[in-house]
Amino acid sequence: MLRTLLLTLSVVAIAHAELCKPDAQNAFKVRISIKTALGDNAYAWDANEEYLFKAMVAFAMRRYSSKSTTQISNVLLCNVTDRVSFWFVVTDSSKNVTTVPGSEVEAAIRMNRNRINNAFLLSDKTLQFLKITSTLSPPVEPSTPVWLIVFGVVLCLIVAGIVFLVVSGIQKHNKKNKESTERENLEEKVEVTLENGIPCEALDLKAGHINGVFAADDERFTSL
Amino acid sequence: LSATPEIPKEDGRPKWDNKFQYILSCIGFAVGLGNVWRFPYLCQIHGGGAFLIPYFIALLFEGIPLLHLELALGQYLRKGSLGAWNTISPYLGGVGVGSWMVSILVSLYYNTVLTWVMWYFINSFQEPLPWSVCPLNENRTGFNEECHESTAVNYFWYRKTLNITPDIAESGKLQWWLILCLAACWAVVYLCTIRGIETTGKAIYVTAIFPYLVLTIFLIQGLTLPGATDGLIYLFTPNLNTLKNPRVWLDAATQIFFSLSLAFGGLIAFASYNPTKNDCEKDAVTVAIVNSMTSLYASIPVFSVLGFKATTAYWDCLDRNIINIINEFDLPEESIMRQNYTSWISFLNSSYPEKIAGLKLKSCDLQEFLDQVPVSGTGLAFIVFTQAIILMPGSQAWAILFFIMLFSLGLSSMFGNIEGVFTPLLELQIIPKSAPKELLSGIICLISFLIALSFTLGSGSYWIDIFDRYAGSVPLLVIAFFEVIGVVYIYKIKRFSKDVEWMTGRKLNLYWQIAWRFISPLLLLIVFVAFVTLQMQKPPSYTAWNPKYEGFPMKEEKVYPPWVQAICVLLAVLPCVCVPLVALFHLVKQKRRSKNPSFVSPEVFSCQEANS
């Protein structure tokens, strides 16, 4: 009794060893970088984590093929290194000692990649399935590009500034015109003695006018 | 004749609110984008600290004397460049016309550079920054090919901003986003220059001082970055051997000359709004020294950041190699760190040489990353610096600060350029005196905007390079040469010295006499000849961004087609040719006048010229 049990166990073990080895058919290499992802909060990779991994792969296979035949014992892990990296393969319990085709496993993993990553608190980069490429997530694009909004704000400020300056300029211009017309009206009322069209007061003042023709400042013009 | 008497000085000419505004405007005009992105580059390629020697010699014998000359001229004659040179001598009127033309040409393309800065600024409000990630390709299987082969930063600059064509002959179409930014930039320029120095004088307080604040912030931040000291040591380590190369001296002379924005007419215009009794000598020395100090001050954060970038690239190289080794040998994580990398490599090389060779590890050398092709100009700001900003924590804030700083630097220089165009037009009175100043500045900005639309085409940046190389270089040297010769030998240095002494209140130092009479004209002549000779040595070429080129992402070296070369020559020659043309015109007029003695020139009786 015991001998048959041992024999079957050893046969199973050998079969498993045959199925799961580096570069075996339908086997995938997994590379995990816990310290890179979590730093100080890194957990150690031990047998429990391996169990969780087998469970996640079994879960992925069940979800993908929606037949509840894949058991945790169907997922075989081997060659675990310190890196941490290992190979795994999924066996098919319905057919003896065969592995599920790689394409199925790949599709299942791809479908549930997010769930698997989150179970280990890792990402696509830190939990790598070496032969399975991840689909890139499309970038989030808002309906109006952000730069257009900022541009609108900037332009509004500039236009407001220009309008303000132009309006204040026009107001100043009108005020000056009004003042000069008022002054002219005022001067017309005041009687001024004129000599040659020049009011006499102006001639008495010190500043006077400089007649350019007779300016002593003829040094300003260079001889041609 | 009016009822109230007119005191000669109160001629209704606008004036600065205070001296500080004037000095700040001159400093703002001189300190521009070149101080940030050309001077550090020159320091780097010309032997670090050793470059400062020819730089300060050029400052002493070329920069300061020419600056003093222009400021004194504008202040004494109280006119813009056109009027001032006509007053000196009608034969020299062409110098003013040349200055005015160069100011127009430079304003056109300079504001387009500011357009690019504004585009980057408004794009800095996103998370993540748009130049940090490559967009996906159509079927979302990978990244956009052009982006993937070069870098995300390059892609954003060449494709998303410029949408550049592979050849200058292909114009491409107008890029609507650049048109929007161009309109905004010209609107900002209009807003600030709307009433001439009345408004620029207020705006300059912000645009001239703000860059210094940001430079200081970047300085502090830059010095705390890892690898900053490597970059600074690399920059400032003097290599005196480079001084044997005449190219270094030429670059120093041209850098000082263009950095101080001489011969644009803008400085003359600024100085013309001063009261005549003002110490222009002290002003000139102040402005020149502040400009050079700013260049030095700006190169510190630039090189801290470049050192940081090189260090990060070096660490990335090391990390990539480490990951490859760990994956290959299935070693536990963090067993190989950057510190013990070399010992591990030697150990593994001795034990498993074939496996190591099979990994094809890249050799990582910090010096190599520092030596990487030094970049200047737009490449430094929009490619190298933006890449470094992505690596800093809080990149949006740094990007926003950086681009506002560049915008202020460029805007304060634009004020000077526009003033060089605006003041002579105002004096020519092409619009009636009753019309407001706002109208003239509006017309200038509108026409410039319409012409500058051509720079928003796909090939626009190639054209801007042409304008920068040909319109903004050779004509300035020629005009400055004629400026010095005109003042010293036609207006006569004795008269000019007396004028300056009257303005400053003290006798002119011998240094100025010697510099103006001999050293500066000689230096200008040598620089001009050397510059032109160097340009003529090889056929004018440019580097084009061509995704279909075999060596992509390297840029393709192409030669300008003949029609473009003709335009280059036209741009360089047109402002220069004004000088002899106007002189010829007056000579012909004089000859005709001497034949007809009854015809008296109206200039002799123009009273208003003496007092305006």
Residue whose C-alpha is closest to residue A202's, from B9, B7, B4: B4
CA distance B470 to chain A (A): 33
Q: Chain B, 339-398: which have a CB under 8 Å from a chain A CB?
A: none
Amino acid type, B90: P
Question: Are the C-beta atoms of B300 and B232 separated by less than 8 Å?
Answer: yes
Tokens describing residue B478: 């020629």
Q: Which residue of B has its CA nearest to A171?
A: B436
DSSP alpha helix (H) spans, B225-265: 228-236, 246-259
- Which residue, among B176, B333, B491, B608, would best test binding to A if mutated, counting the most A CBs under 10 Å from its CB? B333
Task: Say if B148 is an interface residue toward chain A (CB within 8 Å).
Answer: no
Q: In a 10 Å sphere around its CB, with 0-12 CB exposed, 13-18 middle and 19+ buried, how is residue A53 labelled? A: buried
Dihedral of the CA atoms B416, B421, B425, B430 (nearest 10)? -140
Contacts of residue B403, Cβ cutoff 8 Å, sequence gap at least 6:
B117, B118, B120, B121, B124
For residue range A30-83, list pLDDT tens digits in order.
Answer: 888 888 888 888 888 888 988 999 899 888 888 888 766 778 888 888 888 888
Determine the length of chain B. 612
Residue whose C-alpha is closest to residue B102's, from B314, B342, B265, B344: B265
Q: Chain B residues with CB inside 8 Å of A209's CB?
A: 1, 5-6
Contacts of residue B43, Cβ cutoff 8 Å, sequence gap at least 6:
B49, B51, B52, B235, B236, B299
Contacts of residue B325, Cβ cutoff 8 Å, sequence gap at least 6:
B331, B336, B344, B345, B348, B356, B359, B361
Which ipTM score applies to this complex? 0.81
In order of A92, A94, A132, A211, B86, the CA distances from A104 in angstroms are: 12, 15, 12, 105, 88
Question: Are the C-beta atoms of B280 and B271 separated by less than 8 Å?
Answer: yes
CATH 1.25.60.10 correct for B19-595: no
CA distance B13 to chain A (A): 16
Q: Chain B, 481-500: which have a CB under 8 Å from a chain A CB?
A: 490-491, 495
Per-residue pLDDT band for B108 (boundaries 50, 70, 90) equals very high
pLDDT of the residue at B609: 43
DSSP B160: I
Quick check: A217 and B610 CB within 8 A?
A: yes
pLDDT of the residue at B3: 40
Q: What is the pTM of this model?
A: 0.83
- B598-605, long-range: CB within 8 Å, 24+ apart, which pairs? B603/A221, B603/B90, B604/A213, B604/A221, B605/A212, B605/A213
Per-residue pLDDT band for B8 (boundaries 50, 70, 90) equals very low
Angle between helices B280-329 and B64-77 (to 10 degrees): 140
DSSP per residue over A43-87, as a string? PP--HHHHHHHHHHHHHHHHHHH--TT--GGGEEEE---SSSEEE
- Residue A43: count of CB within 10 angstroms of its CB: 12
pLDDT at A108 over 90: no
Could you tell me whether strands A85-92 and A98-99 are parallel, antiparallel, or unpaired per DSSP bridges?
A: antiparallel
Phi and psi, residue A128, nearest 5°: -100, 130
Cα separation, A126 vs B395, in Å, equals 25
For residue range B434-478, list pLDDT tens digits in order.
Answer: 778 888 899 999 999 999 999 999 999 999 999 988 888 889 999
- Which residue, among B87, B178, B330, B604, would best test binding to A if mutated, counting the most A CBs under 10 Å from its CB? B330
pLDDT of the residue at B212: 95
Quick check: B332 and A161 CB within 8 A?
A: no
Binding residues of B for Na(+): 28, 30-31, 35, 259, 291, 409, 413
Quick check: A82 and B331 CB within 8 A?
A: yes
pLDDT at B599 over 80: no
Boundaries of every domain in chain B: 19-595
Q: What's the rounded mean pLDDT across residues A17-29?
A: 79
pLDDT at B597 over 90: no
Cα separation, B567 vs B236, in Å, equals 40
pLDDT of the residue at A199: 62
Phi and psi, residue A97, nearest 5°: 50, 45
Between residues B157 and A14, the one the model is more confident about: B157
CA distance A155 to chain B (A): 6
pLDDT of the residue at B606: 46
pLDDT at B333 over 90: no
Cβ pairs A/B, distance under 8 A: 121
DSSP A221: S
CA distance A212 to chain B (A): 4
Class assignment of domain A13-129? alpha beta
- Residue B221: count of CB within 10 angstroms of its CB: 20
Per-residue pLDDT band for A173 (boundaries 50, 70, 90) equals confident
CA distance A94 to chain B (A): 35
Q: Chain B, 174-203: which have a CB under 8 Å from a chain A CB?
A: 177, 180-181, 183-184, 187-188, 190-191, 194-195, 199
